[in-house]
Chain A
Amino acid sequence: MSPSSSSPCFTLENVSISYGTNVAVRGVYMEIPRGKVTAFIGPSGCGKSTVLRSLNRMNDLIEGCSLKGRVLFENQDLYTRDVDPVEVRRRIGMVFQKPNPFPKSIYENIAFGARINGFRGDMDELVERSLRKAAIWDETKDKLKVSGYSLSGGQQQRLCIARAIAIEPEVILMDEPCSALDPISTLKIEEMMHELKKSYTIVIVTHNMQQAVRVSDMTGFFNVTANPDSDGKVGCLEEFADTEMIFNSPKQKATQDYVTGRFG
């Protein structure tokens, strides 16, 4: 029984996330659709990465980070006591801002995740399939035993994507995956995302508005506002709609200002 494609993949209900006593982002409501690419854009400090990291409980690893509200994945709250965060991350993979391959061979980088997830099958086949999907097989097939660090930045990032794909997650979260890369590598990764969205739900945080336009179906614009309760700033979700809507006829003035470059 697979849920109908109209039901959302993630549902965020009044989500607020704090670091210690400092509220980073508050009052987020959104429904992220299944099988699509959803982009988060906004000025720095608006909490878009924080929200992304809350989707697979990556924020657990940051000391003092706490979440209020509900994050539902397939209609199940990710933050109830009986949820195993390790299990969550096995179904919701992640690619990070800086390429972070393990200090192991290219082959082991892919096999590591599969092995700890109890993969019992043809590992060589899985490695090849994952590298092919991440469009890096041709560059690496002759040096699978070489350290992942020997690759260029763009290749490392695609290796990390292959690593995420290898555990066959349902969702891939990408936190500014191209911000450390050159334009050609960026292009390669964007092309690959068009392929990937056929099998996965993708949520991507990006600084680059053209990238959001090029790859995403839905876009959420996050903004920073002065926190009424303290001197600090707090992020919030300003507008969430089809990418075309956000960039062509946004409802909010702040969104309009941001996407036309009149802002931060």
Chain B
Amino acid sequence: MAAGARPELFSQRRRPPWELLIDRGFQKLAVVLASVVGLVLIGILFTVLGGAREAITRFGLGFLTTSNWDPIGEHYGAFTAIYGTVVSSLLALAIAVPLGVGTAIFLTENFIPLPVRQVLGLMVELLAAIPSVVLGLWGIFVMEPFLRPGLMGLHQLLGWLPFFSTTPLGPGMAPAVLILVVMILPIITAISRDSLQQVPLALRQAAYGVGTTRWGAIVHVILPAAISGITGGVMLALGRAMGETMAVTMLIGNSNNFSLSLLAPANTISSMLANQFGEADGLQVSALMYAALVLMLLTLVVNLLAQVIVRRLSLKY
């Protein structure tokens, strides 16, 4: 042992300066890279807010409640798009939640052999990987023509209701809602499945032990135990649905005329942005930025709510 070669004090024995430099530099670099997230968020907020300033001062809150979108007369109101965003997302949710949760139950409880469940689960996950624009293309050329006779029948049968009062001519709210269902179904299914799988086996055994039927256990014990995760997933899906752009843009018809009918063309904020941003200038850009700001706030609120709900509802088991 070359003890003599070692200086006595740590403060005298130093790692080579470059090594210390790399160590410190690496830590600093990590901090800088981590701050990029903050910078991007602030950047997004300022860009959109800055771009929207002109429209905000000009139209104020009236922007949210009027439907007039007139690039020539330079008057803008985004009510139709906001209404379309909220209504299309909520309707899609209303259809996708039972479908998704039902699928998740079917894929976690042992109704069918495990390998089959795994394959089905994989297929639902792969559905999430299909690009939105491909679903839009499929929606235009396959789904919408296929649905049209059905929607026509609905119109003839229930045309006295304001929701079905217009003749379905192709693009419109209803096909957009259905394509949204396809898009958010994988999220709801995947998150519900995770939540159901995390319910402890002991809890299931306890339920069966007191003589409940399988569905009795599911409805009264397993679902309540998993509800926080499922609700969080549903809220995330809502946020995703509100921001979803391409497939909706290709199917909703992009009309700024307000209509209660689900069979009529409509608009959402994101489809309005996709459609008009490239060709807009001047005040129209500012109005679109204003609409983008509204969309950002809507999705932000929904996403924050999702996190709060998960924390509030989580059961202690």
Contact = CB atoms under 8 A, between A and B. Distances in A.
Contacts of B215: none
* Interface SS of chain B: loop
A1 B8 CA distance: 9
B10 A83 contact: yes
Interface string B72-92: 000000000000000000000
- Residue of B4, B11, B13, B20 with most chain A CB atoms under a 10 A cut-off: B11
B10 A76 contact: yes
Contact of A74 (B8, B14, B15, B23): B8
B14 to A, nearest CB: 7
A168 B8 contact: no
B10 A168 contact: no
A148 to B, nearest CB: 26
Contacts of B23: 86
B202 interface: no
A76 B8 contact: yes
A2 B14 contact: no
B1 A84 contact: no
A80 B10 CA distance: 10
B15 to A, nearest CB: 6
Contact of B11 (A3, A76, A91): A76
Interface in B1-25: 1, 3-4, 6, 8-11, 13-16, 20, 23
A74 B10 CA distance: 10
A88 interface: yes
A8 to B, nearest CB: 15
Nearest to A81: B11
A199 interface: yes
A170 B6 CA distance: 10
A88 B1 contact: no
Contacts of B15: 84, 86-87
B8 A84 contact: no
Contacts of B8: 1, 3, 74, 76
Nearest to A85: B10
A223 B4 CA distance: 39
Contacts of B14: 84, 87
A10 to B, nearest CB: 13
A84 B12 CA distance: 10
A122 interface: no
A80 B11 CA distance: 9
Contacts of A73: 10
Contacts of A86: 15, 23
Nearest to A86: B15
A63 interface: no
Given A82-B10, A84-B20, A87-B14, 5 more contacts: A73-B10, A76-B10, A80-B11, A84-B15, A86-B23
Interface of B: 1, 3-4, 6, 8-11, 13-16, 20, 23
10 contacts: A1-B4, A1-B8, A76-B9, A83-B10, A84-B10, A84-B14, A86-B23, A87-B13, A87-B15, A118-B16
